[in-house]
Amino acid sequence: MEIYPPLPPIMIHSLALAPVTAIVSAFAMPLIGLTIKNRKVWDAFALTISTIVFILTGIGYATVRYLGKPFVYLLGGWPPPVGIVYEVDEFAALLGLVSAFIIWLVVIYGVKYFDSNEDGMEWYYTMLLGLEAGVLGCIYTGDVFNVFVLFEVLSITSYGLVAFWNRRGECIEAAIKYSLIGALATTIYFLAVTFIYASLGTLNMADIAAKIRGLFFPVTGEPYGSIALGVGLFLALSIWAFTVEAGVAPNHFRVLDAYQVSPSTVAALLSAVAANVGFYLLARYLITLLSGARAVETIVNAGLLIVLIMGLVSIIVGSFLMIVQSDVNRILAYSSVLNYGYVCLAIGLATPLGIIAALFHMINHAVAKTLIFLTAGVYVKASGTRRLDGMEGVGRYAPITSALMVIAALALAGVPPFNGFVSKLILYEALLEVNLAPLVIIIVLSSALSLLGYLKIIYHAYTKPPMKDYGKVEPPKAMLWPMIILAALCIILGVASPWIYDMFIEPAAHTIFETDKFIEVAYEFAEKLLIGVRI
């Protein structure tokens, strides 16, 4: 085991253990459901596992921070490019930590959110833990084919979660739409992988980055045929697949229905956690792997431009259509599309400041959007409908929840001192830095429009006099605490943003540009294959 840096074993193995724990427990869950017919045991199991995975991702983040360079974990002991490896830099580790944290809070919230007579909770937890494994695996892996496999794990569990209320026609409809287009996207990504393998003869990310730059990498041979053609097809197909997966306009139709009809916990997970995987992979492929290489410069620039334009379209579509909706979850779904637009725009800039804005906004959006979906879930549950005109005044029966919703709405709309404001401010700066001032106006206008959308929810649910006596609306403590933690984070990420920026965001975002380090760390392992050292 002397191949790894001298660290305690838990620090070395935590990053690989996190997705493995999640997927093993996901497969154990149906067995537990068969033998022990007690909902409380299932809840406790899912809570324990999600807590463990959250702690493991935290330890993993600490490891990567401590080492100060990407951490390579060899699965099965095979070094890259022969074996599948996890290659985790600070960007990935931070995103994994945030994802595991959000999932942990959503699991706590879900225990009381679903009624005690709800059918199929063991399957809910199975798919939720599977989703966690898929998300973490996609973020940590250093192999483009492994991305495909874990992308499928992530996708198929999210299809199942959307279809969770399988006796409701609308859920089945949304799940069909969601899964058909999703399956099309993942198959297209598989085609993209075949193109990169055909032209470069490798699937390892570090190896791909080295080959495109004309650097030597052991074992795999020379590139075959035209690099530009293979990489161009790879990039075109994978950009399409990732933007479909995330739900960026013009490919946003499938996510709208899914977020609208699925349980609030599921909508929060898909919008806050699953979508981030798509953006992470876009940034990883476009910037770490491909940008800066002479052979494919024009193609990568075209790809970045496409991502930027899709982001703009997303912002415009999301902000205008958001304000005309009358269904609370659909308003929030359009708000997700809008925020995906900001992230895509920031990634498309491909400047250091742009990536900082993208990462910060991904985190801020994850926190605030989870919070607003969970608070909206309380209203929907109490009033029995998602329509705004059916939940008038319900907020007055739940003052704490309503206060939390206002915090989330202001954070999403970008009002200081909440977190959304800070990341949008960085995005403005990034746009001004590359002389794209007109786009700043679009962002400000879209933020103003989106504030109208959020205010519409608050107006209907709080300001209007109650239609009827809703009874006890304020949720139990187990549902309130996750929301309070998220609201506190909204404020902390906003108020303490200079410190957060210096400590976490800026160094993490910087690693996505450090292609040399990314290649070098994997190369050190690959060298051992050349001299025949047995690991």
Partner 1 sequence: MTSIVSQALWIYFYITLIGLIAIAVYGIVVRPNLLKKIIALSILGDTANTFIIFLGFRRGGAAVPIIPTIKPTLEELLWFKETAVDPLPQCLVITAIVINMSVTAFLIALAIQLYRLYGTLDVRKAVRLRG
What DSSP state is assigned to residue 467?
Answer: S
Q: Are 157 and 134 in contact (CB under 8 A)?
A: yes
- Cβ-Cβ contacts under 8 Å for 150 (sequence gap 6 or more): 19, 133, 134, 137, 138, 141
3-state secondary structure string, 352-407? HHHHHHHHHHHHHHHHHHHHHHHHHHHHHHHHCCCEHHHCCCHHHHCHHHHHHHHH
In contact, 371 and 493? CB cutoff 8 Å: no
- Does position 175 bind partner 1 by CB under 8 A? yes
N-to-C CA span, the chain = 8
**Host H or E run for residue 189:** helix 169-200
The answer to whether 389 contacts partner 1 (rule: CB under 8 A) is: no
Q: Select 170 or 297, whichever has its Cβ closest to partner 1.
A: 170
DSSP state of 204: B
Q: Compute the distance between CA of residue 6 and CA of residue 175 in angstroms, rounded to an integer.
A: 47
Positive or negative torsion for Cα 98, 103, 108, 112: positive
Determine the size of the site formed for partner 1 (CB under 8 A): 31
Residue from 10, 36, 180, 441 in contact with partner 1 (CB under 8 A): 180
Pick the closer one to partner 1 by CB: 182 or 354.
Answer: 182
Taking CB under 8 A as the binding criterion, the range among 23-31, 34-42, 182-190, 355-363 that sits at the site for partner 1 is 182-190
Q: Which is nearest to 383 in space by CA: 269, 487, 477, 464? A: 464
Q: What minimum distance in Å lies between the beta carbon of 129 and partner 1?
A: 17
The helix (run of H) or strand (run of E) holding residue 498 is: helix 497-500
Q: Is 170 in the site for partner 1 (CB under 8 A)?
A: yes
Q: How far apart are CA 433 and CA 423, in angstroms?
A: 15
Task: Out of 126, 141, 179, 319, point to the residue binding partner 1 (CB under 8 A).
Answer: 179
Q: Which parts of 187-246 interact with partner 1 (CB under 8 A)? A: 187, 190-191, 193-194, 197-198, 203
Please, what is the minimum distance in Å from the beta carbon of residue 167 to partner 1? 8
- Nearest to 411, CA basis, from 492, 341, 311: 492
Candidates 20-28, 176-184, 499-507, 512-520 — which segment interacts with partner 1 by CB under 8 A? 176-184
Site for partner 1 in 273-302 (CB under 8 A): none
Rounded to a whole number of angstroms, the minimum distance from the CB of residue 519 to partner 1 is 21
Which stretch in 55-63, 178-186, 416-424, 426-434 sits in contact with partner 1 by CB under 8 A?
A: 178-186
In the bound state with partner 1, the residue whose beta carbon lies nearer, of 51 and 187, is: 187
Q: Which is nearer to partner 1, 79 or 311 (CB)?
A: 79
Out of 2, 35, 167, 534, name the contact with partner 1 by CB under 8 A.
167
CB of 262 to partner 1, least distance (A): 14
Tokens of 273: 């956690």
Nearer of residues 128 and 489 to partner 1, judged by Cβ = 128
- Residue number with CB closer to partner 1 (78 or 197): 197
For the record, the structure tokens of 495 come out as 């108020």
Nearer to partner 1, 214 or 225 (CB): 225
Compute the least distance from the CB of residue 506 to partner 1, in Å: 38
Among the listed residues 147, 163, 353, 473, the single contact to partner 1 using CB under 8 A: 163
* Residue 418 neighbours by CB under 8 Å, 6+ apart: 368, 407, 410, 411, 490, 491, 494
Q: Tokens 């660290």 appear where? A: 7
The structure tokens 């801020």 sit at 364
CA 147: distance to chain centroid? 14
Q: Which is nearer to partner 1, 281 or 355 (CB)?
A: 281
**Cβ closest to partner 1, residue 54 vs residue 189:** 189
Q: Is 166 in the site for partner 1 (CB under 8 A)?
A: yes
To the nearest whole angstrom, how small is the minimum distance from the Cβ of residue 13 to partner 1? 24
x/- letters, 128..157, toward partner 1 (CB under 8 A)? -----------------x--xx--x--xx-
Asked if 485 interacts with partner 1 (CB under 8 A), we say no
Kindly tell me which of 156 and 521 has the beta carbon lying closer to partner 1.
156
183 lies in the site for partner 1, by CB under 8 A: yes
Beta bridge partners of 387: 327
We find the least distance from the C-beta atom of residue 181 to partner 1, in angstroms, to be: 8
CA distances from 116 to 28, 121, 225 (A): 22, 9, 60
The letter for the amino acid at 52 is: I
Residue pair 63/12 in contact by the 8 Å Cβ criterion = yes
- Choose, by CB under 8 A, the member of 7, 172, 229, 425 that binds partner 1: 172
Dist CA 324 CA 316 (whole Å): 13
182 or 420: CB nearest partner 1: 182
Given the rule CB under 8 A, which residues bind partner 1?
Answer: 145, 148-149, 152, 155-156, 159-160, 163, 166-167, 169-170, 172-173, 175-176, 179-181, 183-184, 186-187, 190-191, 193-194, 197-198, 203
